């Protein structure tokens, strides 16, 4: 089993925590947009409370370990590895709980280039534990507004993990899917599951809009988030999201493998 101290060292060496690649400027811009209720940054969360930029800086300092000083406006963000480790432990507890009751799960990512392997390993382990890994609305069209205008994608599943692809992207041959923060894919999947009368997930696992969109609809949702994604941490603070793990969500995909081993071991789901 990967020890906590070994994982802490890996988090720092891979820059998953410690000094990360996300800039303070990027994060502050996201906080300003969130405070203004910009849907591009809300990504599915409808906050109950009024959140100012200063409030968000304080929240992110508490949840992630970034600087709580509003006068700090440049440089790279810092994530406290102790906060990452603590959140990974709670993340593993939620996996163990759904596995113990063989509950259905839905897993999706807006970061398939980086995080597909992490989530696919969770899907394999939960399936082996008796959970049904759901794949509703497979192939369904999803129209998402991007900075380039309205783009049409198709909902796809790879190794049990939902993602979106452009219609002309091949499902094989190395294209892992499109990067998106939108909550529309998870809303589409959950609506299709409800319409079909099939099982609804007892746990939604993912990032970005997959977590926020599901949590806002009342589903238990857990996931990963970087320092420039305040919506997930606001959702956690307000009770819409169950667990958020603070880390850099855009490093090399193989750097997440030790996290996979750690989480599955903690959840007693190692294969």
pLDDT (tens digit, 9 = 90+) per residue, 149-165? 888 999 999 999 999 99
Task: State both tokens at 198.
Answer: 């099939």
- Which pLDDT score is estimated for 94? 98
136: closest CA among 87, 215, 89, 200? 200
Longest CA span, the chain:
52
Task: State both tokens at 173.
Answer: 């041959």
Whether residue 87 contacts residue 246, with contact meaning beta carbons closer than 8 Å, is answered with: yes
152: closest CA among 139, 164, 142? 142
The pLDDT of 138-159, averaged and rounded, is 90
Distance between CA atoms of residues 124 and 146, nearest Å = 32
* pLDDT surpassing 80 at residue 175: no
231: closest CA among 218, 248, 216, 251? 216
The DSSP call for residue 240 is: S
- Which pLDDT score is estimated for 145? 82
Residue 48: helix, strand or coil by DSSP?
coil
All residues at 6 or more sequence positions from 113 whose CB lies less than 8 Å from its CB, including other chains = 176, 177, 179, 253
The pLDDT of 118-141, averaged and rounded, is 97
């Amino acid at each position: 089993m990967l020890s906590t101290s070994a994982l802490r060292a890996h988090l720092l060496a891979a820059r998953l925590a410690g000094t990360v690649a996300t800039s303070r400027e990027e994060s502050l811009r996201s906080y300003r947009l969130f405070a203004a209720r910009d849907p591009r940054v809300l990504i599915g969360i409808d906050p109950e409370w009024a959140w100012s930029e200063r409030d968000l800086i304080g929240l992110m300092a508490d949840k992630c370990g970034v600087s709580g000083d509003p006068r700090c406006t440049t440089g790279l963000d810092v994530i406290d590895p102790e906060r990452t480790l603590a959140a990974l432990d709670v993340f593993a507890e939620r996996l163990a709980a759904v596995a113990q009751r063989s509950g259905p799960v839905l897993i999706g990512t807006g970061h398939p280039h980086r995080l597909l392997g992490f989530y696919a390993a969770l899907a394999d382990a939960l399936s082996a534990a008796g959970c049904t890994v759901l794949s509703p609305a497979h192939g369904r069209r999803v129209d998402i507004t991007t900075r380039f205008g309205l783009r049409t994608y198709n909902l796809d599943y790879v190794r049990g993990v939902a993602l979106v692809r452009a219609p002309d992207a091949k499902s094989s041959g190395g294209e892992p899917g499109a990067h998106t923060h939108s909550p529309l894919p998870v809303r589409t999947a959950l609506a299709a599951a409800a319409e079909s009368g099939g099982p609804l997930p007892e746990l939604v696992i993912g990032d970005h809009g997959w977590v926020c969109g599901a949590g806002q609809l009342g589903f238990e949702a857990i996931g990963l988030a970087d320092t420039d994604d305040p919506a997930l941490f606001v959702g956690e603070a307000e009770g819409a999201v169950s667990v958020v793990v603070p880390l850099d969500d855009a490093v090399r995909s193989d750097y997440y493998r030790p996290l996979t081993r750690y989480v599955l071991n903690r959840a007693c789901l190692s294969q």
